[in-house]
Amino acid sequence: MPTEPFDSFALRYDGWFEEHRFAYLSELEAVRALLPPRGEGVEVGVGTGRFAAPLGIKLGVEPSKSMARIAETRGIRVVRGRAEELPFDDCSLDYVLMVTAICFVDDPVKAVEEAYRVLRDGGAVVIGFVDRNSQIGREYERNRKSSVFYRDAHFFSAEEIADLLTRTGFRNLSFVQTLFHRLDEIRGVEPVKEGYGRGSFVVVRGEKPGC
């Protein structure tokens, strides 16, 4: 089960952000670059709230109790649930954010369809992920089987995520990227650049054209 390591090692997961502070801050700025500046939104797979809290997102969905508890201490209201079955009405939100969560869900197609369903006309899905074809992505994939967290992960390329979004009906895709070095070589906050193909952490935004 992809949530099992998060249940058992939530604090260890959360500690990664302290150990890799510059990588974290770079990812945070990349997400911020494409996140709608206002509106009602949710982070799905909110984890410990490391993104939702500084981005001002008050609502999260998370299946792991231990992760959710930490997010709650950061002021987020967490609904226990899964990306594949969002506990929200049709056309009820302005944006859905997922950060490093699409690689853990059991059914990514259903997860993206659910994001589409709950978004209002013109609403946006924003997905941050480690590009499988990047330096860090290849390293994660190589070491996947020995990683507590990534053992059951399924990493995607930027093209695969783009395909998933367009097939579901999302339009006007835009991309930004960051993390241009190996994790152990990152010495400061890295720039956020348009597009994908060079940075290991990619964020894509797609818009729902209308209900």
Ligand X SMILES: C[S@@+](CC[C@H](N)C(=O)[O-])C[C@H]1O[C@@H](n2cnc3c(N)ncnc32)[C@H](O)[C@@H]1O
Q: Find out whether 70 and 48 touch, Cβ atoms under 8 Å.
A: yes
Between CA 37 and CA 56 the distance in angstroms is 10
The nearer residue to ligand X, 58 or 171, going by C-beta atoms, is: 58
Give Cβ neighbours of residue 43 (< 8 Å, ≥ 6 apart). 49, 51, 52, 55, 57, 59, 60, 61, 76, 97, 98, 99
* Chain position whose Cβ is nearest to ligand X: 47
The nearer residue to ligand X, 27 or 207, going by C-beta atoms, is: 27
Residues 74-103, one symbol each (x = binds ligand X by CB under 6 A, - = not), give --------xxx--------------xxx--
Residue of 115, 91, 100 lying closest to 168 (CA atoms): 115
Applying CB under 6 A, among 23, 62, 170, 204 the residue interacting with ligand X is 62
Q: Establish if 127 lies at the interface with ligand X (CB under 6 A).
A: no
Q: Which stretch binds ligand X (CB under 6 A): 47-55, 137-145, 186-194, 195-203?
A: 47-55
Q: Establish if 46 lies at the interface with ligand X (CB under 6 A).
A: yes
Structure tokens at 77: 């209201």
Element (H, E) at 98: strand 93-99
Min CB(182)–ligand X separation in Å: 19
Q: Establish if 24 lies at the interface with ligand X (CB under 6 A).
A: no
Residue of 90, 89, 102, 3 lying closest to 44 (CA atoms): 102
Sites of contact with ligand X (CB under 6 A)? 2-3, 6, 44-47, 50-51, 62-64, 67, 82-84, 99-101, 104-106
